[in-house]
A and B are shown apart, each in its own frame.
Chain A
Amino acid sequence: MNAKTQRTAWAAKNGGERLTGSEILLRALLDEGVECVFGYPGGAVLYIYDAMHGNPDFRHVLTRHEQGAIHAADGYARSTGKTGVVMATSGPGAANLVTGIATAYMDSVPLVVITGNVATDLIGTDSFQEADIVGITQPITKHSYFVRRAEDLARIIREAFHIAGTGRKGPVLVDIPKDVSAALAVYTPPEGPIRVPGYDGDGEQRPLDEEALDTLLEAIEQSEKPLVLAGGGVIQSEAGEALQEFLRLTRIPVTTTLMGLGAVPADHGMWLGMPGMHGTYAANRALIECDLLISVGARFDDRVTMRLDGFAPRARIAHIDIDAAEIGKLVPAAIPIAGDAKRVLERLNFRAAGGFAENAAWTDRLRRLKTEYPLRYEASDTELKPQYVIEMISRTTEGEAIVTTDVGQHQMWAAQFYRFRRPRSLITSGGLGTMGFGFPSAIGAQIGNPGRTVVSVNGDGGMQMCAQELAICAIHHIPVKIAVINNRTLGMIKQWQELIYEGRYSHIDLSGSPDFVKLAEAYGVKGLRAETPAEAERVWQEAMETAGPVLIDFVVSKEELVYPMVPQGKALEDMILGPAGSAEGGSKHE
């Protein structure tokens, strides 16, 4: 008996129409405004997929692997600011989501993750395709639900979206046993403001600590070398404009973390670039020398701070964060301000409306450092350099594309050489550093932003971790431009083995990888290849003029390293500029 005949039978017997748990789930998702679910069916979610059958309102994209589905949902969420939704079956299906859940958790991405589970009478019996996914994912979810009754589904879905998308955002898992998705219940859409006992949206609506704001404004007044460090929280809270207004009023220079890139446009006169392990000389010197550091929506990740005792050693630190637990976690905050980045900045702008004088000696010095020590590489007319490819993509898209990256050297070059103009333009796994993220996340970003150019920048390693999703691009005509920065090696690992492990290259050779052009074509995606700068320009032009998806295999030189670099365990002061750092003739990109 299928769900529909079951329901009709129930209605005939008891009067009144009830829905199955599966139908309630789909209605609840639609009521949340869900545009697209990425997923993969299996035994435990068959009732849910049955309810999708012939439901024209419900859009589901079938990926080729659950990991592709969750990265796509993640890319959708990061690029749109909406909550992404992914669905998978019990056991292996759910377990395949784990890396994606952790990826979203580390970067505070709002996701609702729906998994099926075996029927409640089989739970705990090691039954076929059973896994305790709630238990497995507890450390990497903001919250999770195991649904016991179909009656609870509507409320739980509403709560899940509320928790995922408010405060410090994050993934919420909803695990639905098979019998619950089949059971009948009345669907009453929850009304009125939502209240989850024990959750106040991380204090989103709590009054701000005006005294702390006073202290900060005084500190700005007194400071001679102030600096703003803006992170992913600025992007998440749509605080880009408020941040730029704050910079205009206070005349303070700014550095943006990997997750904060795009919060201020790259041509902003006060922007110093990215700080940290592969940060710019100017940004890292500013961190070393500043006497007041105002951190907004950044969490002092070790790739930013490097050795903590060498991080902003002369600075009083003001820490603005929506998550009170981040404040004081790694660096002591002299001025702790718990609150949403946008709210705090807007309040500060209101309070500081009169503006501050520029500390000209300080800002002049930083501008000089920025000009004297730009990001560089040795350009070549014959050899294709990976940095050149990123510069070319940046130039031709005028910094307006959504760029997704995988993890490794190409990720850092994309962060360094793409001149982002807008928030939510760089989609990258910053916290977890997940290979295989770059390409599927672009699919989600393109579905969420049909009008924008989406470029996915990958290494030849990461491209092979989720290449199967090429099928989705072809089937759904998702016009992502897929750049493979192909150096036939695991470049970042090679870089560390070269610099830190004295050239003992261990298991980094990727020669023998498939011909990426043929791989794309096998899936029905156009494939192109470039081996010189001139070819790259021509081929990229062709790709941009192609309406559908294109994979471009950029065969780049193998020897390039990402510079500047602060080796792990060292302080920002120990930054290595690299061979091109002081040489003449390198491409000046600033």
Chain B
Amino acid sequence: MNKRLISLTVNDSPGVLQRVAGLISRRGYNIESITVGASETDGLSRMTVAAIGDEAVIRQMCSQLRKLIDVREARLLHERPFVSRELMLVKIRLDPARRAEIQSLTDTFRCSVVDVGPETAIVQAVGDPEKNDAFLQLIRPYGILEIARTGETAMNRG
């Protein structure tokens, strides 16, 4: 069971996310995340679906998605080299004594601290989900208060 990324080009019409999400759930496909946003063309949006399954299931899922009228294109990103990124915000407890340690950790992961309060800070991490998972592992001992992740968005290289 692999994780595969499917890139969808969809009509920017009301209910399109519901159509895609509904199809995925009613056919029992397993997904990790789904992201949606504007594309380079007016009237079209791009979605990235991170799906879990064997090759046959993923292909079947693409075929089913293509049948939705509002789906213009469904492409398997892993057939060619691709980049994928996820943005993650992590609110952590800010213990003044351990500030330097946290700073060095965020530097190592090239994260940025986007908010600092008297007792908390928000760290922003951008990377592939595995990198973000690794960062979470290391930051966990300092006390995570809240996590928000966007899910992956991706495109083929070149």
| A contacts, CB < 8 Å to B | 134-135, 138-139, 142-143, 146, 163, 168, 196-199, 202, 323-325, 327-329, 332
Contacts and interface: CB of A to CB of B under 8 A. Distances in A.
Contacts of A146: 14-15
A199 B15 contact: no
Interface of B is mostly: helix
B18 A324 contact: no
B22 interface: yes
A139 B72 contact: no
B11 interface: yes
Contact of A138 (B22, B59, B71): B22
17 contacts: A134-B15, A138-B18, A138-B22, A139-B26, A143-B68, A143-B69, A146-B14, A163-B69, A197-B11, A198-B11, A198-B70, A198-B71, A199-B69, A202-B67, A325-B60, A325-B63, A325-B64
Nearest to A167: B67
Output the residue of B26, B60, B70 with the most chain A CB within 10 A. Answer: B60
B66 interface: yes
Interface of B: 11, 14-15, 18-19, 22-23, 26, 56, 59-60, 63-64, 66-72
B26 A198 contact: no
Contacts of B18: 135, 138
A328 B60 contact: yes
A329 B60 contact: yes
Contacts of B63: 324-325, 327
B24 to A, nearest CB: 11
B67 A328 contact: no
Contacts of B67: 168, 202, 323, 325
A398 to B, nearest CB: 40
Nearest to B63: A325
A199 to B, nearest CB: 5
Nearest to B60: A329
A494 B49 CA distance: 46
Contact of A139 (B11, B22, B56): B22
A324 B11 CA distance: 21
Contacts of B64: 325
A332 B56 CA distance: 9
Contacts of A135: 15, 18
A142 B22 CA distance: 13
A332 B60 CA distance: 11
Contacts of A139: 22-23, 26
A418 B143 CA distance: 74
A324 B65 CA distance: 11
B18 to A, nearest CB: 7
Contacts of B60: 325, 328-329
Output the residue of B15, B23, B69 with the most chain A CB within 10 A. Answer: B69
A198 B72 contact: yes
A325 B19 contact: no
Contacts of A163: 69
A327 B67 CA distance: 13
Contact of A197 (B14, B22, B66, B72): B72
Interface of A is mostly: mixed
5 shortest A-B CB distances, which residue pairs? A325-B63, A143-B69, A198-B72, A325-B64, A199-B69
Contacts of A138: 15, 18-19, 22
B69 A328 contact: no
Contact of A196 (B22, B59, B69): B69
A586 B107 CA distance: 86
Nearest to B69: A143
A296 to B, nearest CB: 19
Contact of A325 (B15, B56, B66, B72): B66
Contacts of B11: 197-198
Contacts of B70: 198
A324 B71 CA distance: 15
Nearest to A135: B18
A246 B12 CA distance: 45
B14 to A, nearest CB: 7
Given A138-B22, A198-B70, A202-B67, 15 more contacts: A134-B15, A135-B15, A135-B18, A138-B15, A138-B18, A138-B19, A139-B26, A142-B69, A168-B67, A196-B69, A199-B69, A324-B66, A327-B63, A328-B56, A329-B60
Output the residue of B15, B18, B22, B56 with the most chain A CB within 10 A. Answer: B15
Contacts of B19: 138
Given A138-B19, A139-B22, A325-B63, A198 B69 contact: yes
Contacts of A199: 69
Contacts of A329: 60
A431 to B, nearest CB: 15
A68 B90 CA distance: 56
Contacts of B15: 134-135, 138, 146
Nearest to A144: B15
A168 B68 CA distance: 12
A150 to B, nearest CB: 18
Nearest to A168: B67
Contacts of A332: 56
B71 A328 contact: no
Contacts of A198: 11, 69-72
B53 to A, nearest CB: 13
Nearest to B70: A198
Nearest to A330: B60
A328 B59 contact: yes
Contacts of A197: 11, 72
A269 to B, nearest CB: 37
Contacts of B71: 198
A143 B16 CA distance: 11
A142 B71 CA distance: 13
A161 to B, nearest CB: 14
Contacts of A196: 69
Nearest to A138: B22
Output the residue of A135, A197, A324, A325 with the most chain B CB within 10 A. Answer: A325
A578 B33 CA distance: 52
Contacts of B26: 139
A4 B3 CA distance: 60
Contacts of B56: 328, 332
A159 B132 CA distance: 45
Contacts of A324: 63, 66
B9 to A, nearest CB: 9
A118 to B, nearest CB: 17
A334 to B, nearest CB: 14
Nearest to A323: B67
Output the residue of B26, B56, B63, B72 with the most chain A CB within 10 A. Answer: B63
A128 B31 CA distance: 37
B22 to A, nearest CB: 5
